[in-house]
Structure 1
Amino acid sequence: MSENETLRAERFASGKAALDAIHDHAGHQVIESLADIAPELGHQIVAWGYGDIYARPELAPQQRQLVTLGILTAIGGSEAQLEVHIGASLNVGLTPQQIIEVFLHSSVYCGFPRALNAVAAAKRVFAERGLMPLAGETPEA
């Protein structure tokens, strides 16, 4: 194996470890869905996105997920990715209430429509995991 191939394999292995630590089946399914159409994109998501970025020690997994949720909410049109990362956020220890708080906070900067889309994605994930209804989420008069 050449030095380049070795480095490529090491980056992928590092990324796979980070991916495994954060995501359940949904995260892995994204990579698997690319195998027959864009395998290099799947490789880069794992090697670069997770191996080079997510594996960095400067932010904890919970912090990385908070940032990711905010960004995906802000850019909009990323509800499928939001669902995957809402699941990952739960996997790394964020609570449903903390996740909803991200979307409430995001509404100030990116608007109610994007925050509402993010909350709808969260509702789907929470329902799948048996986390609905959220306790203590009643508005004050």
Structure 2
Amino acid sequence: MTDMTNMTDTAATETTIRQKRYDRGLEVLKRINGESVIELADSLREISPELGYQTVAWAYGDSYSRPALSPRDRQLITLGMLTSQGGEETELRAHIPLALAVGLTPDEIVETFLHAAVYCGFPRAINATQTARKVFAERGVSVSAAAATPVPVDVPVRSARSTPSQ
């Protein structure tokens, strides 16, 4: 009888911990206006409810809720990483609105993808930028004229390593 009681208690504790992780993830997502990620996790219920659970509980309840990085910084990193992987348009469609919600501007998002081209290639950066264009259009968001203007070739580039001569 004791073994059965212990197994029941253990299962109840695991269920409670599991629910707390999920609830913490939902709380984080609600705080940062993560409706797009909640919708993505919900869409997985039919085919893989555990993946939907882990998306909320692990990615947001355990990882995203850590204090060392701000939500804005986390989204900037996430956009760069998704771009570098390529073929992540579904995830980008969820994270671009989230990036806007946590304070990244459309200009910063587009610049992130432009910068990513240097490290992960133009095709991936173009795909990410096209995804952003679609998300922005759906939301009535536009990129400023300044962000769309290329830097003239005759503008001197300052070296980060240069020091004033003494």
Identity %: 50
Instruction: Give 1:128 shift.
Output: 1.1
When structure 1 is superposed on structure 2, of 12-21 and 55-64 the one drifting more is: 12-21
Q: Distance in 1 between the 2:151 and 2:77 partners?
A: 28
Aligned position for 2:149: 138
The equivalent position to 1:95 in structure 2, one of 61, 83, 105, is: 105
Q: Is residue 107–residue 143 contact of structure 2 (8 Å, CA) maintained in 1?
A: no
Residues 30 and 3 from structure 1, CA distance in 2 versus in 1: closer, same or farther, beyond 3 angstroms? same
Structure 1 unpaired stretches of 5+ = none
The equivalent position to 2:26 in structure 1, one of 16, 26, 37, is: 16
User: Highest Rg: 1 or 2?
Assistant: 2
Alignment TM-score, normalising by the size of structure 1:
0.93
Structure ranking higher on relative contact order (CA contacts 8 Å, 6+ apart): 1
Aligned position for 1:65: 75
Instruction: Give 1:21 shift.
Output: 2.2
Aligned position for 2:128: 118
Aligned positions of 1:36-115 closer than 5 A: 36-115=46-125
Q: How many residues end up aligned between the 2 structures?
A: 141
Query: Cα RMSD (Å) of the superposition?
Result: 1.4
Residues 14 and 24 from structure 1, CA distance in 2 versus in 1: closer, same or farther, beyond 3 angstroms? closer
In structure 2, give the amino acid aligned to 1:93. G
In the TM superposition, what whole-angstrom CA distance separates every residue of 1:1-59 from its partner, at most 9, and x where no partner exists? 71111111110110111122234432221111111111111111111011000111110
Alignment TM-score, normalising by the size of structure 2:
0.80
Q: Distance in 2 between the 1:6 and 1:28 partners?
A: 21
Q: Secondary structure at the match of 2:145?
A: coil
